[in-house]
Structure 1
Amino acid sequence: MTLTAKLIIDHLGRMKQLHESLLVLSRKKTEALKTNDMDALQLCLSQERKHVSAINSLEKKRSAAVKEWAAGKQGFADAVPKVSDIIKWSRWPDREQLEEVYNSFILVLADLKQQEVLNGELTKQSLQFINMSLDLLQPSLNNLNYGHASGSNGQNRSVFDSQA
């Protein structure tokens, strides 16, 4: 196994682990959104930021390893190859391990994307509920008195100043 292939496999494996951890956090975030637990949601968001920072750092290392691998291959000197290109060009032990890590990483990414879409929808629904609740608590003056406001006094009335 070549050193650069081992580095790429190692980096992809570690990125997969970080994304699996992100998936667990995303599921916790879903539960926090469902139960309206803002403290748990804040904790999840804080931990997500740390994960994203670690992923970005690891992605730079993986990218450098891929460039190093490409420098030694004919036809890739100026281009940055995709993982599928590296798999195609790799020899048997490297290819098998790289395919395994890559395929499992893709599955984790798909699950994470699906979970984050759900979280986005839950957040959108929560915001819609909040806006609807605010609209119900702050009706317009026309709806408040079921008619025109009388004099200048009607414009300054609050919701709690109206007559039943």
Structure 2
Amino acid sequence: MSVQAIIEKLEKLIVTHEQLLDLSKEKTAIVKEGNVENLQTVLIKERKILQQITQLEESRQKEVEDWFANHRLTNEEATVTNLVNQLSNNEERKAIEESAVRLTETIVNLKQQEQLNMALIQQSMQFVQLSIDLLSPSLKNWNYGKEQEQSQINRSVFDSKA
């Protein structure tokens, strides 16, 4: 397995993560609008992209493992970082490092965007809960009339037995 194949997998992962980031930004706008139907559509698209990412990541891991196996470096953990350390070709090393950094930056941006989405959704849920609490009648207002007048015994401040 060649280093170029690993770089191509990293580039595909970057493109797919960028698609997911764009979809996440779209999801933010939809959550702000409160459009549930569009949110469901975006979630379906998101699920498909996540499946692609999973397949690409498995393929990338296999490429890296195959590279280590072909170079008889089985005692090392088959990661991109270890691969970079093993490469003697500076151009390949630089290309993999740049791709890995871009992928990491995209993932960090995606994580921040998803945290924003989660905060917006939690805020929306709190608003819905508050609305439900305001619209549902409280137990105190179920009975008409004066409150707790029947259950209290009239007591005088002074003892009248004297």
TM-score category (smaller protein): 0.7 to 0.9
| Partner residue, 1:81 | 78
- TM-score using structure 1 length: 0.82
CA deviation string 1:76-111 (max 9, x = no partner): 415532211111111212111101111111111110
Q: CA deviation at 1:32?
A: 0.2
- Does the CA-based 8 Å contact 1:4-1:69 persist in structure 2? yes
Residue 72 (structure 1) aligned to one of 70, 73, 92:
70
AA aligned opposite 2:147 = G
| Partner residue, 2:5 | 7
- Does the CA-based 8 Å contact 1:4-1:66 persist in structure 2? no
RMSD between superposed Cα atoms in Å: 1.9
For residues 130 and 9 of structure 1, the distance between their equivalents in structure 2, rounded to whole angstroms, comes to 47
For residues 40 and 20 of structure 2, the distance between their equivalents in structure 1, rounded to whole angstroms, comes to 14
Give the number of aligned pairs.
146
AA aligned opposite 1:52 = L
In terms of Rg, which structure is larger? 2
| Identity between Structure 1 and Structure 2 (%) | 34
| Partner residue, 1:115 | 113
Q: CA deviation at 1:144?
A: 5.0
For residues 142 and 82 of structure 2, the distance between their equivalents in structure 1, rounded to whole angstroms, comes to 67
For residues 34 and 127 of structure 2, the distance between their equivalents in structure 1, rounded to whole angstroms, comes to 12
* Structure 2, unaligned runs of 5 or more: 151-162
Q: CA deviation at 1:4?
A: 2.4
CA deviation string 1:106-149 (max 9, x = no partner): 1111100000000000011111111111111113221455835x
Q: CA deviation at 1:72?
A: 2.8
Q: What secondary structure, in the 3-state scheme, does the structure 2 residue paired with 1:61 have?
A: helix
